A = this chain, B = another copy of it.
Amino acid sequence: MIPEYLISETPFWLKEEGLFSEIVLSSRVRIARNLEDTFFVQRASADILQETMEKIKESILNMKNIRSFIYMGSLNPVERQFLMERRIVSHDIVEKVKYAGVGISNDEKAGVMVNEEDHIRIYGIMPGLNFTEAYESADDIDNFISKELDIAYDKEFGYLTACPTNVGTGMRASVLIHLPALVLTKEIDKALRSFSQMGYLIRGLYGEGTQVQGNMFQITNQRTLGISEEKIIQNLSKMVRELINYELNAREILVKNAKYEVEDKIWRAYAILSSARLLTSEEVINLASAVRFGIGLGIITSIPIKTLNKLLVLTQPAHIQIIFEKNMHAEERDITRAEFVRKILSGGENG
């Protein structure tokens, strides 16, 4: 079962707006840790995984900031997908459910995945560009856990992880960024190439192995070894600010050279979103992308950015089914989604 509060309350990162919120949806930091004196997840037996999970669960539930712990194995596929859509668990943990679990903090500002690739994956998430606070949330949990449990650490290499690419700080910082003008002006490849060359990963909405949708890109640092947490965050922040400037320049050019085409695209998207009777998830993402662009350009002023953020998350397939407490086939979801979108846009859904 998904705890009732996850369904009825809106997570902090969707409820509030942060720095550059029109362009940056969220900033996320995750820290990989493993217990000492036991096997990594891939090598561990069922018994050991079970034991590891209980140990970590007990520890994190001691933190007053952690509100609940969910065993992934106790969920049905729709419920597991709900947590993934909510960005509480990763794609990976949805695949390996048997001995995995997740602890969730108040306001969904942070969480701890247990027995995903590593024993412990702590994350912190904030709206807008705000790695500092996202890191603080994750770091608080890390500090707490490190006092209670023995964490695998090597003086030379730093934190030991299941995959060598995470060794060192074990930290990844990522940003979900909306770049419609760079896509429309076809500058996007050039803009992202420099990120790739500097060792950043560019991915889709839900991280590794997922597609780019609605002009939203996830950018993540690759380097974790021989660099401090502060430096990782500093470097990525700097790059993201540059990217924001590219995007703002492209917006200026578009408004100058294709004012009516841009306005037409935006108003049509808003109209369809507010009027359609059938909407797929994919279409919502694409229409919401155009509307978000319109808010950024000051064309649409009647709805705040955070309403669009909510739209993106709450109208996903598993969310629709959990919120409306019904297993639905695709067309049923599309009908319900269209109705729900109208409700959210008209401010009737306070989550």
Task: Please report A residues at the B interface, Cβ cutoff 8 Å.
Answer: 260-261, 263-264, 267-268, 270-272, 274-278, 331, 334-335, 338
Contacts and interface: CB of A to CB of B under 8 A. Distances in A.
Contacts of A275: 267-268, 270-271
Contacts of A277: 260, 263-264, 267
A269 to B, nearest CB: 9
Contacts of A260: 277-278, 331, 334-335
A154 to B, nearest CB: 59
* This protein's copies in its complex: 2
25 contacts: A260-B277, A260-B278, A260-B331, A260-B334, A260-B335, A261-B278, A263-B277, A264-B276, A264-B277, A264-B278, A264-B338, A267-B275, A267-B276, A267-B277, A268-B271, A268-B272, A268-B275, A268-B276, A270-B275, A271-B271, A271-B272, A271-B274, A271-B275, A271-B276, A272-B272
A339 to B, nearest CB: 10
Nearest to A277: B264
Given A264-B338, A271-B271, A271-B276, 4 more contacts: A260-B335, A267-B275, A267-B277, A271-B275
A287 B200 CA distance: 46
Nearest to A261: B278
Interchain residue pairs A-B with the least CB separation, the first 10: A271-B275, A271-B271, A264-B277, A264-B278, A267-B275, A263-B277, A260-B277, A260-B335, A268-B276, A260-B278
